[in-house]
Amino acid sequence: MSGSMAHTPKEVVVLGAGIVGVSTALALQLRGHAVTLVDRKMPGLETSYGNAGIIQREAVRPYAFPRDIGTLLCVATGRSNDAHYHMEALWRLGPRLFSYWRSSAPASYAAIVPAYSRLIEQCIDEHAFWIEQAGAGELVRREGWRQIYRSRRAFDAAASEATDVASAHGLGCSVLGGDALASAEPALQRTLAGAIHWTDPWSVRDPGELVARYARLFVRRGGRFALGDAMTLRPVGAGWSVDAEGGPVQAEDAVVALGPWADALLRTLEYRLPLFIKRGYHRHYEGDAGLRLPMLDVERGVMLAPMSRGLRLTTGAEFARQDAAATPVQLGRAEQSTRELVPLGKPVEAAPWLGSRPCTVDMKPVLGAAPRHKGLWFNFGHAHQGFTLGPVTGRLVAELISGEPPFIDPAPYLARRFG
């Protein structure tokens, strides 16, 4: 992480106090800008709170839309726990899901991976800098995470693919057979086919708290946080204004880092970007079930992550309206399948947590200058990897605002790619 002062400092308002917004505010502050961070809630209480808490250095290939008929039929008939859908939402999302499916075709996907992986490659270094600055090292474990497999067929196929990916991208990857997995995770109550242990990622036992630590660092260094309504953003004179407690916040530049709420704001400014959301659920259960590392039960579509509040079960994707009533059927199945593996304690929360992941049809985030408004900047659309990529894209956007040479070419992520 580096910052340059060879530019004229600006006043900047950053909308959204999740990991992306807080990281952007810190990176701008590092470069000498006067920054106000605005959100309707305190930092780290929305999407950034609800993830699996893994800084996924191995995630060099984004989640593609399934293209094989077998997988699609399993989802369509409700036999897969990887995805769930509301039928009425599919009609509305249809055009964007079709674009997502097209982007997942082999030729298109092969062109997306290099741009995506260039962001992922920086995630540990960028987080490491802010973790040290924020004094948050005790929240972090640096031993990776595991994908576990119940069937031999699925394990063999995944192990072959994982070793290929690891070799192509210089990643740490260890393939564990059933006995080796049982030795590494003695709390497992049954013998499984095996696991893939990705050794480069870091896991965080309270991702919301890490974001809060980053935000407190920002305030200690002179930044301002204000509770306010990002949807009131409007151009005023040569700059921007947004309503907040204590009066409007005005700044020369504004950064939209609102995750799944970015689309609603941008529509008020007459932008129509191909964005959509995937909803997801989690719930904590008392104790950590004796697990040493986070693990994804791949064939049951559930992540098991030891956290400060207990064992967090995190589900796959739900395609539904963002404001639709909760339908945590995936979490119910996840509870049942997890009890086959470990002793699951009592639920900590009275009801499951529900949040939304902000997605683009080509799987890459939207970063950089807005096409039609001077001083307006974008940093959203991170899908499953906002927690991983927040400090990376925060740095890139801060460099662009500051007029610094960007550490990677921003062209693949600019909004203008959508026309």
**In angstroms, rounded to a whole number, what is the distance separating the alpha carbons of residues 327 and 219?**
38
- Report CA 408 to chain centroid distance, whole Å: 20
Whole-number pLDDT of residue 300: 96
> Residue 3 — pLDDT band, cuts 50, 70, 90?
low
| Structural domains of the chain, with CATH | 1-64+104-141+204-272+362-419 (3.50.50.60), 71-103+142-203+275-360 (3.30.9.10)
Cα–Cα distances in angstroms (integers) from residue 72 to residues 66, 287, 359, in the given order: 7, 36, 20
Percent of the chain with pLDDT over 90: 92
> Residue 54 — pLDDT band, cuts 50, 70, 90?
very high
For residues 82 and 34, the model is more confident at 34
The structure tokens listed for 176 are 């564990």
**In angstroms, rounded to a whole number, what is the distance separating the alpha carbons of residues 211 and 191?**
37
pLDDT of residue 4 exceeding 60, the answer is no
Query: What mean pLDDT is predicted for residues 86-112?
Result: 94
Please report where in the chains the tokens 């994707």 appear, as a residue: 317
**In angstroms, rounded to a whole number, what is the distance separating the alpha carbons of residues 403 and 253?**
13
**In angstroms, rounded to a whole number, what is the distance separating the alpha carbons of residues 279 and 349?**
19
- Opening angle at CA 134, ends 131 and 139, nearest 5: 55
Query: What mean pLDDT is predicted for residues 20-47?
Result: 96
Helix (H, G, I), strand (E, B) or coil at 136: coil
For 11-27, what is each residue's pLDDT tens digit? Answer: 999 999 999 999 999 99
Cα–Cα distances in angstroms (integers) from residue 273 to residues 105, 172, 262, 319, in the given order: 21, 36, 10, 18
pLDDT of residue 124 exceeding 70, the answer is yes
Q: How many CB atoms lie within 10 A of CB 417?
A: 13
Residue 144's DSSP bridge partners are: none
Whole-number pLDDT of residue 81: 84
Cα–Cα distances in angstroms (integers) from residue 201 to residues 271, 294, 305, in the given order: 36, 11, 14
H-state helical runs in 7-64:
19-30
Whole-number pLDDT of residue 90: 87
Query: What mean pLDDT is predicted for residues 264-269?
Result: 97
Helix (H, G, I), strand (E, B) or coil at 310: strand
**In angstroms, rounded to a whole number, what is the distance separating the alpha carbons of residues 109 and 96?**
16
At 314, the amino acid letter reads T
pLDDT of residue 5 exceeding 70, the answer is no
Helix (H) or strand (E) holding 167: helix 152-169
pLDDT of residue 7 exceeding 80, the answer is no
**In angstroms, rounded to a whole number, what is the distance separating the alpha carbons of residues 128 and 72?**
39
Asked whether the CA dihedral 383, 388, 394, 395 is positive or negative, the reply is: negative
**In angstroms, rounded to a whole number, what is the distance separating the alpha carbons of residues 417 and 364?**
11
Query: What mean pLDDT is predicted for residues 36-59?
Result: 95
Write the secondary structure of 188-200 as one string of H (helix), E (strand) and C (coil).
CCCCCCEEEEECC
Whole-number pLDDT of residue 283: 97
**In angstroms, rounded to a whole number, what is the distance separating the alpha carbons of residues 42 and 214?**
12
Please report where in the chains the tokens 């470990």 appear, as a residue: 342
**In angstroms, rounded to a whole number, what is the distance separating the alpha carbons of residues 67 and 65?**
6
Whole-number pLDDT of residue 74: 79
For 61-84, what is each residue's pLDDT tens digit? Answer: 999 998 888 777 777 777 778 899
68 contact partners, CB below 8 Å, separation of at least 6: none
For residues 301 and 79, the model is more confident at 301
Residue 147's DSSP bridge partners are: 196, 296
- Opening angle at CA 104, ends 98 and 107, nearest 5: 125
Helix (H, G, I), strand (E, B) or coil at 340: coil
179: buried, middle or exposed (CB in 10 Å: 19+, 13-18, 0-12)? exposed
Asked whether the CA dihedral 296, 394, 126, 117 is positive or negative, the reply is: positive
At 250, the amino acid letter reads Q
**In angstroms, rounded to a whole number, what is the distance separating the alpha carbons of residues 248 and 98?**
41
Query: What mean pLDDT is predicted for residues 251-277?
Result: 97
> Residue 116 — pLDDT band, cuts 50, 70, 90?
very high
pLDDT of residue 6 exceeding 60, the answer is no
Query: What mean pLDDT is predicted for residues 268-287?
Result: 96
Q: Are 324 and 354 in contact (CB under 8 A)?
A: no
Q: Mean pLDDT of all residues in the chain?
A: 95
